[in-house]
Amino acid sequence: MRPILLSGHERSLNQIKFNRDGDLIFSVAKDKIVCAWWSANGERLGTYNGHQGAIWTVDVSPNTQILATGSADNTVRLWNVKTGECIKVWDFPTAVKRVEFTPDGSRLLAVTEKRMGFLGTIAVLDINYGENLTEQAEEPSLRITCTESKATVAGWSYMGKYIIAGHEDGSVSQYDGKTGEQLENVQAHEFDHQINDIQFSPDRTYFITASKDKSAKLMSTRNLAILKTYVADTPLNSATITPKKDYVILGGGQAAMDVTTTSARQGKFEARFYHKVFEDEIGRVRGHFGPLNTVHIHPAGTAYASGGEDGYVRVHHFDKPYFDFMYEVEREQLRK
């Protein structure tokens, strides 16, 4: 497979998202612009300009009408995907580390940083898709304050029923999506090893976490049971579950501050593929010159994109061997 290299950013990537149809890719980096790309050929559709600081997170509504971004300039912005205009700015007291739409797109959560005397919070904003997209609610409809350990990442469960959050201390908690009440809290990863990413399966009944403790875990959304554990040899920044084939892709590498002291070979700057069920590592894809900060899979499972500390987005369209690979037991099952 020949990766497409997208070099629209000048600094390290923070998050990449495919839209639900998989024809567009949105990428954000520490430079202040958001890029939209066609996933098929890597052509840049446009950029969304307006943020004043590093952009930590991006998400696109399920109907690809609205794009949400969270930035170090303490704002969440909504953009018109088609025209590139900023349609709404919400100010927060601290930086916004993660935004995510509910599966139906009606609500948006924003995870804010704990800093300057403010506790980390998860705010829920109602999104209005009317004639005029600029008419949005001013105040969040729900605010969850994380008193114990700040939330670093969060996402919505199936039907927006729960909010699942990963914390700085390595725990994963489950909140009620309507009331914000904490229902469950599990120390999924080693204590004090931050959770860097949470990504859901297509039906959102389970999710994968990626942590600094060099492991990724597959967990059930309903009761936060740990279903599978994938052990890597490097801190992980991102993990994604592939549809169509039962794999997971993990991205990580030496922490950015140690990169200059390690060579590209030792740095382990590769995307790692594990079998979702058997927990075996089945291959790696190299190419980045720095740690992988984010990986995201095409919703149809035909391609994936990875963004690294090196400022490049690499879009890989899988070819035949990827789809053909099967364990012996899987083959036998198929024969029956």
Partner 1 sequence: MSKLGNRADWADDEEFDDPSALPPQQITTNKDGTKTIVSYRFNDEGKKVKVTRRIKTTVVREHVNPQVAERRSWAKFGLEKGNAPGPSFDTTSVGENIAFRPSVNWKVQAAEAEKNGGEKGSMKDQLKDKKVKCRICSGEHFTARCPFKDTMAPVDEPSAGGEGSAEDSPAAGALGAGTSSYVPPHLRKGAAGGGERMAGKYEKDDLATLRVTNVSELAEEGELRDLFERFGRVTRVFLARDRETQRAKGFAFISFADRDDAARACDKMDGFGYRHLILRVEFAKRAT
**Residue 169 burial (CB count, 10 A):** 17
What is the rounded distance in angstroms from the CA atom of residue 31 to the CA atom of residue 237? 19
108's tokens: 């948006």
263's tokens: 């060579």
What is the nearest approach in angstroms of partner 1 to the Cβ of residue 44?
Answer: 5
Selected from 53, 84, 202, 243, the binder of partner 1 by CB under 8 A is 84
DSSP string, 46-69: EEEE--SS-EEEEEE-TTSSEEEE
Could you say whether residue 325 binds partner 1 (CB under 8 A)?
Answer: yes
Selected from 176, 246, 279, 281, the binder of partner 1 by CB under 8 A is 281
What is the rounded distance in angstroms from the CA atom of residue 198 to the CA atom of residue 80? 26
Number of residues that bind partner 1 (CB under 8 A): 45
**Smaller CB distance to partner 1: residue 80 or 128?**
80
Tell me 234's DSSP state. Answer: S
Segment interacting with partner 1 (CB under 8 A) among 145-153, 233-241, 248-256, 282-290: 282-290
Selected from 53, 202, 243, 283, the binder of partner 1 by CB under 8 A is 283
Selected from 26, 101, 175, 318, the binder of partner 1 by CB under 8 A is 318
Q: Which helix (H) or strand (E) holds 321?
A: helix 320-324
- The SS3 assignment for 19 reads coil
The residue ranges of DSSP E strands in 106-169, in sequence order, are 107-112, 121-126, 142-145, 151-156, 162-167
Could you say whether residue 3 binds partner 1 (CB under 8 A)?
Answer: yes
Selected from 233, 257, 261, 321, the binder of partner 1 by CB under 8 A is 321
- Output the CA torsion sign for 140, 141, 146, 152: negative
**Smaller CB distance to partner 1: residue 42 or 120?**
42
Could you say whether residue 11 binds partner 1 (CB under 8 A)?
Answer: no
Selected from 53, 246, 327, 330, the binder of partner 1 by CB under 8 A is 327
242's tokens: 């592939």
Binding flags for partner 1, 34-63, as an x/- string (CB under 8 A): ---x---xxxxxxxxx-------------x
Conformational region of residue 63, where left means phi above 0, alpha means psi within -120 to 50, and beta covers everything else: alpha
**Smaller CB distance to partner 1: residue 81 or 124?**
81
Could you say whether residue 329 binds partner 1 (CB under 8 A)?
Answer: no
Binding flags for partner 1, 241-280, as an x/- string (CB under 8 A): ------x-------------------------x------x
Name the residue type at position 165.
Answer: A
**Smaller CB distance to partner 1: residue 260 or 320?**
320
Instruction: Give CA separation, 217 vs 232, 241, 248, 277, in Å.
Output: 11, 11, 10, 12
Phi, psi of 21 (to 5 degrees): -85, -10
Q: Can you give the binding site for partner 1, defined by CB under 8 A? A: 1-8, 21, 23-24, 33, 37, 41-49, 63-64, 82-84, 247, 273, 280-287, 314, 316, 318-319, 321-322, 325, 327
